[in-house]
Structure formats: C-alpha cells, structure tokens
A and B are shown apart, each in its own frame.
Chain A
Amino acid sequence: MGRIWKLGDNINTDLIIPGRYNVTTDHAQLAKYCLYEAYPEFSQQVKPGDIVLGGHNFGCGSSREHAPTSILANKVKVVIARSFARIFYRNAVNIGLPVLVCEEAVLNSEDGQELDVNLETGEIRNLTTGQTFQAEPLDPFVARIVAAGGIINYIEMEGTLR
C-alpha cells in the first residue's frame, strides 16, 4: 500500500535527476535530488513504499542510470506508466526497480490516492476507489531478470549472460 505520486507525460531523465546533480554515485545524494526541481514536494515528502504513476514515455532522454537509481534510492515500490522510454525501462529492470505498464491504472487513479500493487501478478488495486487493474505481462526474458532481482543477480545465477 502506498501513496500515489502522479506525474505527467514525457517525464524525462533531466527532470528526474538534472545533469548538474548526477555527478555522484551516492544513493543518498541521488535520492535527495530525485525530481528535485520539477516536483519539489516529491523529494521532500516521498516515503518508502510510495508509488509513482507516469503518463506516456516515462524516463525519456538520456541513458543515465542515476534516474531510476534516484527513484529506487527513495524506496519507491513501483513505477507504473502508460508507457516507458526504452533505456529507462531497461535500466530499471537491470537495477531491480519494479516497473509496470498499465494504462487503466494511470487513467483512473489520482495523485494522493492509495494503491496496492502485487508485483508478482501485476494486479493493481486502488484502495481509495476500490477499482482493480491488471498490468501488462512482462517479456519472458525481462521477467527472468526481474525474478532474479536485476541483471547482476541474473548473470550470477545463470553463470553467464545467455
């Protein structure tokens, strides 16, 4: 169960973590500057377990892994969007930040409401309205990486990348 932070379309990586602030690999620093300028209240008030809802093309722009890392570092439970930009999606999967595509959940949920998300089944329940939604299933290869908790764990389990 987590509070929804609803953002718009085309939330790019410069909005998520501006280039001026990503000269670091320190998680605490990255957490602090997550959406720092675009959504100042987010960086001040986000709590572990909260949920980010994005519109279309979430995470477009640069390949900086600092972007999903800064969200993960805030212990956000999952990012649900109508669609993700390719590199952001891949980065999130690699580092173990859960990402789900669910058009309906985004369209029918509002900022500040509460969501319950089952990451295994992709079932999403809006606790404020009582509505339930089903996220799109993952690509089988991606699902294996997600199940392992990220690409590093996946390769360690498999012994190699294959």
Chain B
Amino acid sequence: MGTLAEEIFSYKLGRPVHAGETVVVDVDHVMSHDTTTPLAIKAFAKLTGQKTGKVFDSKRSHIVFDHIIPAATIAAATLHREVRNFAKEQDISILQEGICHQVMPEKGFVVPGSVIVGADSHSCTYGAFGAFGTGMGSTDIGVAYATGRSWFRVPETINVNITGTLPAGVYAKDVSLEIVRHLGVDGANYRAIEYTGEVIENFSMSERMTFSNMAIEMGGKAGLIAADETTRAWLQGRTDQEYPLLRAVNPHYERVIEIDVTNLKPLVACPPDVNIVHPAEEVTNVKIDEVFLGTCTNGRLDDLEIAAGILAGRTISPDIRMVVIPASREIYLEAMRLGYLEIFSRAGASVGTPGCGPCIGRHFGVLAPGERAMTTMNRNFTGRMGDPTAEIYLGSPATVAATALTGYITDPRAILLEESRA
C-alpha cells in the first residue's frame, strides 16, 4: 500500500517498504553513456581489482554513445576508444543509435515495475513506463556494474494531477514547463513526482516521456506514471518479459498539485533557469540566432511531426540556423519515410545524426558569444550550448518551429491560426 514509488520498491523487495527507509535493491538494468562511462570504469576497476573483474550481467549493462557521436574532437575519440575497449572486455554491446533515454525503452529494457539506474540525470525518463529510473553519478554506476545493486532512500512523493483539455497549439512540453513554474527548480528535490489525471492518461508514451524527463529539472529523483494499456501497447513486440501494472494504492502524498490545462498558453522558459517561465506571446521581441529541435525531451516522432506540420512548404528565416536531431535511429528512419526530414531540409534546417547534438554544447551547432537559441531542450543553463554569454530558451516543438520561420520567439498559435484561415 502506498505511492507508486513505494509500490515499486515493495514489489522489488517482496515486502512492504515506505518513504524514508534506506534499501539496497537488485537493479534490473544499468546504463552509462560516452561521457560518464570513463569515470564509472575507474570506480568499477577499483572495486573489482583492476581489469579482472566482470560486470554483474553483461546483458543488463548498457553503454550508449550519444553525447558526442560521432566524436568531434581527438579527446572525445580517445575516450570513446577507452570505453570501446572496456565494453569488448566485458562483452557489453555499445548502443550507437540515439539518445540513451530513447534507446533504452526502444530496446525493451524499460518495463513497468523495474528499477533502472543510469549515469545521466535524465534517467528519470523511464518513469514514463512505471519504472523507477533515476540518475546517479559514475561511481554509483560503477558500483552497480560490479554488484548489480544500488542503495536508495525510498522517496516521499509529490502528486501532480493534471486535468482539463489541452488547447490547440499547447503541448506536453508547455504543461511540463508549467509544472516547473509551479514547483521551482528544487521543489521536488529528493522526492518522486507522480503524474496522474486525465491529461496524462490520454497522453501517448512520447508525451509521457517529456513529463518524466523533466522531473529532474525540479530536483526530482523520479517522475513516475502508472503503466496502463498505452504502455503495454507501446512495449508490444519490444520485450517478452512479464511485468506488473503497478499503481498507487491508498497513497500518502507529501503534497498534491492540481493543474488544469484548459487555459494554458504556449510557454517559454527563459535563461538561466527552467522555472523562469513566460507565455510565448509575452517574449516575442527576443531575437533568436539558432533553433534546435531534438533531445530526450522532444526529439521523438510526434515532436518532429508537429514541427514538420508548421514548416511544410515554408523556409526558415535567413537570419537563423536550424538544427534538427531525431532522438533515435528508429525515429530518424520513420521521419525519413514520412517525409519530415525532407521538409526540414527544404526549409533550410541541418538534420543531424541521432544523439544529443548541441544539447551539451560540444558539437553540431554551438553558440557564439551573446547568441540566443530557442530549443526543445530541458535545460537552459548558462554556457550549456557554447559560449557562457550565449542564452538558451526552452519551448515546445511548435514554438521552436514557429520561431524558425520568423527569427524571433513566436507563439505557434500565430502560425497555426494563419493556417486555419488560409
């Protein structure tokens, strides 16, 4: 009996556990990526006595190359080689087909009721599947690779209940930003967020992932959504593992936040913190140099579809550069088949290989001093995309696409409205 977080840990341990308890759990999967694996290897080697040690299970250990892929510098290529050697020794296959948080679910590694630790803060994305996914540092992940275990303080839970009907031009990302505005950048520190309500129930897996992904922007340890038939349908054909559809049973939530989306407007998070949120229509005088559509927050097929719908038959402002990066190869291929990539390319965008791209400012679209980017990213921290004086704005794929057309932050409803009149 308890919150979804308590239910998952109780299921894993075979006994009832409650918020506040510290437990050691056998994890289902462990993940690290090209940037965080090198330090994890160091911790792993220390613990297992240098090179002789083996990971707890090579089929449940995953290394994803996504942060700087293909390598953009000699330093990155050298780190990649180091990690490749480790993976070979350990019989781990390196996944190179997209962003870790997209590829892990696509491969069927994320099933409801499981516990997954990743050396990346957005590992909370797996919460969209009713899995307890959480981000940790490399040493924790090195320990998990060696032992198959990790320790957790079972978190208290904040329930975010979302009701109403989403207006046209307003998307899952806008609702996510609205939640950050409510809770603040540390409002969920050390806590799980459990998303409930009709809006969540009607959302696709992709939209749910946008929500869970952004739990960490409020400090959340996990961003959980109870698995249901939508989850089951998505996982069909990706895994034959049995899993329970757990949900909260008489939960005691630390806090409940009610959000009615019926009157919500397209929102933009302004630099340098994710909770500085304003309606897009109030920041339309901001001139933008680069727009970026992609990331583990909004690089999925429906995101590309929304943007392609706005950009079809149009060209982007000559004053702007646009980067589009599908979150995974699966999405890339599907977007190619559906003609979205052609729409982007004809509109004037650079379409990149699946991965994180400019999200961490290392390649493929870094910003010059003083430049501004309007992106579908989850973070707008100073310096993240390039020069420390460059600024990052966050919004939905529609807001990003509309901005690409005008060169200024643009409320997508302005474009969508124009369309419906035409």
Q: Which residues of A are at the interface with B, using a C-beta cutoff of 8 A?
A: 10, 12, 14-15, 18-20, 22-25, 37-38, 56-57, 60-66, 68-69, 83, 85-87, 90-91, 94-95, 139-141, 150-152, 155-156, 160-162
In the assembled complex, the Cα of A83 lies from the Cα of B153 at a distance in Å of: 17
Give the residues in chain B near A10, CB-CB below 8 Å.
Answer: 185-186, 273
Q: Which 3 A-B pairs have the closest CB atoms?
A: A91-B137, A65-B137, A57-B186
Tell me the chain B residues, 326-349 only, with Cβ under 8 Å from chain A: none
Q: Does B166 contact A (CB under 8 A)?
A: no
Give the residues in chain A near B39, CB-CB below 8 Å.
Answer: 25, 65-66, 69
Q: Show 30 residue pairs from A and B whose CB-CB distance is below 8 angstroms, ordered by the A residue.
A: A10-B185, A10-B186, A12-B381, A14-B383, A15-B381, A23-B68, A23-B73, A23-B76, A23-B79, A23-B362, A25-B39, A25-B42, A37-B383, A38-B382, A61-B121, A61-B381, A63-B123, A63-B136, A66-B39, A83-B189, A86-B190, A86-B221, A87-B121, A87-B137, A91-B139, A95-B137, A152-B43, A152-B46, A161-B151, A162-B24
Cβ contact within 8 Å between A86 and B219: yes
Q: Mark B175-204, 1 if CB is under 8 A from A, else 0.
A: 000000000011001100000000000000
Give the residues in chain A near B361, CB-CB below 8 Å.
Answer: 18-20
Q: Does B403 contact A (CB under 8 A)?
A: no
In the assembled complex, the Cα of A94 lies from the Cα of B39 at a distance in Å of: 12
Tell me the chain B residues, 254-279 only, with Cβ under 8 Å from chain A: 273
Q: Does B66 contact A (CB under 8 A)?
A: no
Q: Which residues of B are at the interface with A, using a C-beta cutoff of 8 A?
A: 22, 24, 35-36, 38-39, 42-43, 46-47, 68, 73, 75-76, 79, 118-121, 123, 135-140, 143, 147, 149-151, 153, 185-186, 189-190, 219, 221, 273, 360-362, 379, 381-384, 386, 388
In the assembled complex, the Cα of A141 lies from the Cα of B154 at a distance in Å of: 13
Give the residues in chain A near B153, CB-CB below 8 Å.
Answer: 139, 141
In the assembled complex, the Cα of A160 lies from the Cα of B26 at a distance in Å of: 12
Cβ contact within 8 Å between B121 and A94: no
